[in-house]
Amino acid sequence: MLPDEIRAEVQIWNAACGGSIAAAQHFALYLTVPGAEFVALHFDDFQCRSRAVLCNSAGCLHEVYVARAGRYRRVLTVRTYDIRLSSVNNQAFVELLDRNGTSRKLRWNGSRFVAK
């Protein structure tokens, strides 16, 4: 279940999608590291009648939110083929994958994702 703050952000897409939005099983994926919880939204796993609103030739919309002290804020918005959250030694990373399989890894610096 999405946190209320993120759910409110997702509901904004209802009008743009032409109503009747729905999230598939892998729409929201979570990662927890010491001091932060991340939620990655995969809009390629989101039912939207107007698909072009969410996807283009670069890929579909993906957003990452972070929670600190119970409050969520969006820290990444990108259109790409896929993203993957991971952690190494309690450090959070997000990997951006394009449709050709090329990937780029970004590291969480405590306030935003930066080039590794």
**pLDDT tens column, 18-54:** 888 899 889 999 999 999 999 999 999 999 989 899 9
Q: 34 is in which domain, residue-wise?
A: 4-82
Q: How many domains would you assign to the chain? A: 1
In a domain, 104, yes or no: no
Which of 112, 73, 72, 69 has its CA nearest to residue 94? 112
In a domain, 105, yes or no: no
With beta carbons less than 8 A apart as the criterion, state whether 64 and 83 touch.
yes
What does pTM read for this prediction? 0.93
In a domain, 113, yes or no: no
In a domain, 112, yes or no: no
* Cα–Cα distance, 44 to 46 (Å, whole number): 6
In a domain, 62, yes or no: yes
CA dihedral 38, 3, 50, 56 (to 10 degrees): -10
